[in-house]
Amino acid sequence: MISDELPFNYPRLIDGDISLTRFLKALDLFDSPHKKLQNIIHIAGTNGKGSTSAFLKSILTEAGFRVNRFISPHLVSLYERIELSQTQISAGQFEHYHTIAKTKLSEHNIALSFFEMLTLIAFLAYLDHPADYIILETGLGGRLDATNVIENPLVTLITRIALDHQALLGNSLDQIAAEKAGIFKKGTPAFTIAQEPIVLDVLQNQANKLQVPLFVQNKEGSCIINDKKAELPGHKIFSYTPQFLTASYQHENAALAIAAAIHLYPNIDLKHIETGIKQAYHPGRFQKWRSVDGCQLWLDGAHNPNGAAALSKTLIDMKQKSSATKIALWPMLLSNRSFDDFLDPFQKHQIIDHFLPPPLEAKFTLMSEHDYHFADTVKDPFIKILHHSIQNGSTDIVICGSLYYIGWCLKNEHILFENTSH
């Protein structure tokens, strides 16, 4: 049986090869499962993929459909990535398909990367556990993503596109957008939100080449997506109340999911949409976590400048609702991330009252140039730093900067808060 601590040990890349050729050769050994899967919804984007897919799955489930979902990354367990209708794949099921895959691949001397092997396991599991819909999130990019071997999706969705993973996807928004638009398939409808003009230009050009109907937020004659409405030409308008969405950035993700759901099922009951949005759960996205000594802890996966900007808007809303709110930010950025770029939106709006120290492995570049108050040491244990912030008057502490660290917090929650009030 594989361990939850180290369940899967595969390289991120095989000899620097990022093409799909080797993966397609591997799929041939299993009678091309990607060609047998039906009713696929394919989602790419920099930020918001997980939330959008969670909203869409919840809506479709409320409407009575069975929905399998493939997500990336996971927070606590690798098995989160492969959902079989209402449950994630079990350890036994995962090991079953993993053994089948690695045995046959070994016989033919074909090596797969971490994400390619996960995708193969998901495809095999979905064949044995059919559903009405399959939602596939790309892992990274789109054009050369392992999920992009599929041929006939029902619809493709593009969430927020921003600068991230430039080493693999390109150093500019137009380059990254071109990679994401690589999931477009000829004639298959595509949906996106309002993006930077250069991003929309790239998406529209690729859509034109492939005769793809591209529905864009607030584009006349297309779909209208905002905080209160999702509309498609020739279909009913769905107006909803966004108060139950904790983070303001979730409005565009929810509305994108709503527009896709209406396209897929024009006669959907609007009650199913509203209930689906309310009941959707995607941890680590402005998640209300624990309360310690009257201080509320939040977990948010924002890890790039665009995510930081979106999070800052949510924190502005918090401040506006109560003048007594004092927010501490705990940015757990990994070493390859820039503190300057990430912290800029929070500094610009002056919404953070206290900044907590990042972990030792984080990058401290130019930190001294900011007028931020950091605790004296980064070596203090989690709870000591937490209480230091509470003693400084923080009413809310937002932990962000790394989905991996968010996952660590969730996985070790019982240890971290063993002797604290909550």
312-327 per-position pLDDT tens digit: 988 998 888 888 899 9
**Distance between CA atoms of residues 230 and 235, nearest Å:** 10
Mean pLDDT (the chain) is 84
Residue in 318, 309, 332, 324 with CA at minimum distance from that of residue 394: 324
| pLDDT-derived band at 163, boundaries 50, 70, 90 | confident
pLDDT for position 2:
41
Length of the chain in terms of residues written: 422
Return all residues near 398 (Cβ < 8 A) that are at least 6 apart: 298, 300, 311, 315, 327, 328, 329, 330
DSSP class of residue 196? -
Q: Is 374 exposed, middle or buried (0-12, 13-18, 19+ CB in 10 A)?
A: middle
| pLDDT-derived band at 335, boundaries 50, 70, 90 | low
Identify which has the larger pLDDT, 369 or 253: 253
Residue in 179, 139, 135, 177 with CA at minimum distance from that of residue 156: 135
pLDDT for position 382:
76
Lowest-pLDDT choice from 80-94, 136-150, 196-210, 293-307: 293-307
* Max Cα–Cα distance, the chain, nearest Å: 65
Identify which has the larger pLDDT, 230 or 215: 215
**Distance between CA atoms of residues 347 and 315, nearest Å:** 12
In this structure, the dihedral spanned by the alpha carbons of residues 135, 141, 147 and 148, taken in order and rounded to 10 degrees, is 110
In which element (H, E) is residue 157 found? strand 155-158
pLDDT of 54-85, one tens digit each?
A: 999 999 999 999 999 999 989 989 999 999 99
Which domains are present in the chain?
Answer: 21-279 (3.40.1190.10), 287-416 (3.90.190.20)
Return all residues near 364 (Cβ < 8 A) that are at least 6 apart: 339, 358
Q: Which residues pair with 133 in a beta bridge?
A: 67
pLDDT of 188-211, one tens digit each?
A: 999 998 899 999 999 999 999 999
**Distance between CA atoms of residues 336 and 404, nearest Å:** 13
Q: Kindly report whether the peptide bond that precedes residue 153 is cis, defined as omega within 30 degrees of 0.
A: no
Q: What is the pTM of this model?
A: 0.85
Return all residues near 45 (Cβ < 8 A) that are at least 6 apart: 52, 157, 158, 159, 160, 161, 180
**Distance between CA atoms of residues 290 and 305, nearest Å:** 26
pLDDT for position 208:
96
| pLDDT-derived band at 125, boundaries 50, 70, 90 | very high
Residue in 328, 324, 307, 405 with CA at minimum distance from that of residue 372: 328
**Distance between CA atoms of residues 61 and 133, nearest Å:** 10
Return all residues near 188 (Cβ < 8 A) that are at least 6 apart: 152, 153, 154, 155, 156, 212
Q: Collapse the DSSP code of 141 into the 3-class scheme (helix H, G, I; strand E, B; otherwise coil) and give the result.
A: coil
